[in-house]
Amino acid sequence: MNMIYLNNGLNMPLLGFGVFQITDQNQCEQSVLSALKTGYRLIDTAACYGNERAVGAAIKKSGIAREEVFIVSKVWIQDAGYSKTQASFEKTLRNLQTDYLDLYLVHMPYGDYHGSWKAMEELYLAGKIKAIGVCNFLPDRLVDLVLSHKIAPAVNQIELHPFCQQKELHQVMQKYDIKVMAWAPFAEGRAGIFQNKILVNIGLTYEKTPAQVILRWLRQNNIIAIPKSVHSERIRENFAIADFLLPMQT
């Protein structure tokens, strides 16, 4: 499995499994179990997704040791602020049936996210979180957070795919050694991304799907990706991006 080092030295998988919009608890649990069986070791959820319990149950049922699974969750806008973030974090731990998180993120740059960050710094220093980061922070908010606190975010989870490459934001993040984590790597299926001629033609060359081409492109740019699917065959397909070999000439 390809890994990336965060700015605090933590090793994180470059390819993970996301559960955004999987609201059916049984379906979420089965999808996560399928992902773990396939070989995924990074699972991304959030308090506002309403499926942390299903994720926790799946990890327990998988029989995989806790330290082998990299769990990511997020604090939502309604829980922004120092004390609310502390309470939300403890609820997240209970839901996930764990006593620590590998990565905890501020979900949106709204409300008292500076208070949230202060709470997260303390939880990180106490060893309850291995790394802390943010989501959806544009350059101004991101730089302000870095300059206002002792610990810089390890990750910024942003919309990133071939149609939305966020190059300016990426440059700012490189300056502060903040890693890019792509949500919606398939643009949520919009704009005919799976029928895009360039992606289709690259896929034909390597006998891969457009989705696999996108995930391989993200990996080669050291961008963490968290594709979502509730279909076992797609989950396996999205994981199979190591063998981009030119077909044998006959």
Numbered residues of the known binding site: 107
Entry field: residues in the chain:
250
Catalytic residue among 40, 49, 104, 113: 49
H-run or E-run covering 169: helix 167-175
Helix (H, G, I), strand (E, B) or coil at 34: helix
CA angle, 16 then 165 then 175, to 5°: 85
Cβ distance 176 to 146 under 8 Å?
yes
Catalytic residue list contains 176? no
Supply the DSSP string of 52-80, one letter for each residue. HHHHHHHHHHHT--GGGSEEEEEE-GGG-
CA distance 59 to 81: 29
Please enumerate, by residue number, every residue annotated as part of a binding site for substrate: 107
Q: Encode 14-39: b = buried (16+ Cβ within 10 Å), e = exposed.
A: bbbbbbbebeeeeebbbbbbbbbeee
Q: What are 122's two structure tokens?
A: 């303390």
CA angle, 85 then 90 then 92, to 5°: 90
CA distance 220 to 184: 17
Give the dihedral of Cα atoms 126, 88, 42, 19; nearest 10 deg.
180
**Which residues are part of the catalytic machinery?**
49
